[in-house]
Amino acid sequence: MTQDISPKDPRPYHHGDLHRAIVEAALDVLSESQSTEFSLRELARRAGVSHNAPYKHFADKRELLAAVSAVGFELLAKRMAEATKELDSPRERLAAMARAYVCGGVNNPALYRLMFGGYLGGQDDGRPAIERTAAYNMKALIVDAISDGALGRPIADVEANTRMFDGAILVFWSQMHGLTLLLADRLVGPSDKMEQLTEAVLQGMLDGLANCIPAIPSGVWVGPPLAE
């Protein structure tokens, strides 16, 4: 479990691809410094462009960080998908996605906190649209595994089962999110036991969900929602 959720193959900036160059520079700085306390001027210098160039694509730093968070979700979804491509068992697929999720967060806590924390929340508690869409695509991977029988039986992905899916995802997410933060903050350890700790929590959670999926109240969303 060594992969994180930041790109490992930084590419040089080419004319006409400034947006990508700035986002990749931000991902690099975030991974290296583990802090969002950097300026757009610093990113411009890193990307080798003028200090005003980032403002051609981003109105402000929050808009840039929303794009960074969206890429974080895309990278995490890609690694979750890659972790399952050789697996036929739905339960093993869901377990592999959980391992990739925890590993990604522990190895790049600053990006993880940007993706799942409150920094990008607006006054209306909404999240940027670009980020919501990327997060929804990642959620769809989990839904597919549950639908295929990861919890012991197939569950049709239909509107009538929405609350059941959301209840299962809420438990899954709560467990994996909590474990990720505990490991990242070194409140659980040691770090070389991360894989075993994740496996123990994961298998217990899956056994529990196979016996009982909690009912969640009507109107509850397990998000972030695509529309406000």
Interval 165-219: pLDDT, tens: 999 999 999 999 999 999 999 998 888 888 888 899 999 999 999 999 988 888 8
Domain that residue 207 falls in: 67-211
Distance CA 138, CA 145 (A): 12
Same domain, 157 and 174: yes
Query: Is 2 within the bounds of a domain?
Result: no
Same domain, 44 and 76: no
Same domain, 125 and 207: yes
Number of domains within the chain: 2
224: preceding bond cis by omega (within 30 degrees)? yes
Q: What's 156's domain CATH number?
A: 1.10.357.10
Distance CA 223, CA 218 (A): 14
Tokens of 64: 């840039």
Same domain, 114 and 145: yes
Q: What angle do CA 77, 207, 138 make, to 5 degrees?
A: 10
What's the mean pLDDT in 88-108? 92
Distance CA 145, CA 97 (A): 10
Query: Is 192 within the bounds of a domain?
Result: yes
pLDDT band at 7; cut points 50, 70, 90: low
Same domain, 186 and 78: yes
- Which residues touch 125 (CB under 8 Å, ≥6 apart)? none
pLDDT at 122 over 70: no
Q: What's 50's domain CATH number?
A: 1.10.10.60
% of residues, the chain, pLDDT over 70: 87
pLDDT at 14 over 50: no
Same domain, 124 and 154: yes
Summary mean pLDDT of the chain: 84
Same domain, 51 and 104: no
Same domain, 175 and 81: yes
pLDDT band at 156; cut points 50, 70, 90: very high
Q: What is the pLDDT of residue 13?
A: 41
Q: Which residue has the tokens 């802090």?
A: 35
% of residues, the chain, pLDDT over 90: 41
Distance CA 57, CA 205 (A): 43
Q: What is the pLDDT of residue 5?
A: 63
Indicate the pTM of the whole model: 0.82
